[in-house]
């Protein structure tokens, strides 16, 4: 089987120059490869090496339980493959990789049930696969979640992909405040983030508190969503925000 130079280097890191000849043999070998001394699985290493060939091989169209459970495995730094995919790599590779991982998680969530790791000693591997929203908010040992890493990167497209996978994240009110930061980061997306909130802007009686809260939120520069919408010439957003603010009596 012919591999790209990048794939060849990653394979050497995994197998010390051992190359399975068949695609099926490669997948079996990757699945059964024991985590290294730092707890990295084959999926971690394929992601770190920006090797889409191996990621595609591991996350097949119809992934089995062993494959899906790799999504939850954490290394000694508490990082899943999703953490690494967001924190490292070129933007185009990162976007495709995160979409691939989230799709696999969504498939796993639909399957449900208890699954076992091919290697039970993988650090932190639970008996059951965690949900997509939990995976996105799961923190590594540095206190960063996949969502927080995406927000910190300033990559609006990546944040939108994540929130599309778990819309509840945009309503987050935890001490981390990432729901707030997602909303402000994605103002330039037009009404995308407003629609994700799910608030009826003309129903001030029901959503009074929520509307007052997010219309008064500011970023590090002191800008509210209204400031950002005006600066980005997002006039449909400006109109909705002004109407909502008027309904709840916010100045």
CA distance 245 to 78: 42
Of the candidates 131, 123, 163, the residue with the CA atom closest to the CA atom of residue 147: 163
The predicted-structure confidence for 70-117, as pLDDT tens digits, reads as follows 888 889 999 998 899 888 777 888 888 888 888 878 776 766 543 333
Six-digit token pair at 74?
A: 């954490």
CA distance 251 to 245: 7
Residues of 214-240 as b/e, b for ≥16 C-beta within 10 angstroms? bbeeebeeebbbbebbbeeebeebbeb
Give the pLDDT confidence score for residue 231 in this predicted structure. 92
Six-digit token pair at 180?
A: 């707030």
Of the candidates 57, 69, 85, the residue with the CA atom closest to the CA atom of residue 147: 85
CA distance 143 to 227: 30
Q: What residues have CB less than 8 Å from 64, skipping those under 6 apart?
A: none
Judged on CB neighbours under 10 Å (0-12, 13-18, 19+), 61 is exposed
Q: What percent of the chain is predicted at pLDDT more than 90? A: 6
**HEC-encoded secondary structure of 18-41:** CCCCCHHHHHHHHHCCCCCCCCCC
Give the pLDDT confidence score for residue 19 in this predicted structure. 47
Of the candidates 141, 122, 137, 139, the residue with the CA atom closest to the CA atom of residue 77: 141
Total Cβ atoms within 10 A of residue 6: 14
CA distance 9 to 2: 13
pTM, full prediction: 0.72
Delimit the domains of the chain by residue range: 5-142
**Residue 124 and residue 73 in contact, taking contact as beta carbons nearer than 8 Å:** yes
Question: Which residue ranges of the chain lie beneath pLDDT 50?
Answer: 1, 16-23, 113-128
Q: What residues have CB less than 8 Å from 8, skipping those under 6 apart?
A: none
Domain 5-142, second-level architecture? Alpha Horseshoe (1.25)
**Residue 116 and residue 65 in contact, taking contact as beta carbons nearer than 8 Å:** yes
């Amino acid at each position: 089987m012919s591999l790209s130079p990048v794939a060849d280097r990653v394979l050497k890191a995994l197998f010390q120059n051992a190359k399975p000849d068949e695609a099926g043999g490669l997948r079996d070998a990757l699945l059964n490869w024991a985590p290294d001394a730092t707890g990295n699985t084959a999926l971690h290493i394929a992601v770190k090496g920006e090797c889409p060939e191996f990621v595609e091989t591991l996350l097949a169209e119809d992934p089995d339980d062993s494959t899906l459970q790799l999504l939850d495995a954490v290394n000694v730094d508490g990082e899943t493959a999703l953490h690494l995919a967001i924190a490292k790599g070129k933007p185009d590779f990162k976007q495709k990789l995160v979409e691939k991982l989230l799709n696999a998680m969504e498939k796993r969530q639909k399957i449900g049930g208890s699954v076992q790791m091919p290697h039970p000693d993988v650090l932190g591997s639970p008996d059951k696969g965690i949900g997509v929203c939990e995976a996105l908010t799961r923190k590594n040992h540095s206190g960063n979640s996949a969502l927080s890493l995406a927000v910190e990167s300033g990559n609006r497209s990546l944040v939108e992909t994540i929130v599309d996978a778990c819309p509840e994240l945009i309503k987050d009110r935890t001490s981390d405040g990432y729901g707030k930061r997602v909303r402000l980061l994605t103002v330039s997306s037009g009404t995308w983030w407003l629609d994700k909130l799910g608030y009826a802007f003309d129903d001030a009686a029901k959503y009074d508190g929520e509307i007052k809260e997010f219309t008064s939120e500011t970023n590090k520069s002191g800008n509210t969503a209204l400031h950002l919408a005006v600066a980005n010439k997002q006039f449909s957003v400006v109109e909705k925000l002004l109407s909502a603010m008027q309904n709840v009596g916010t100045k």
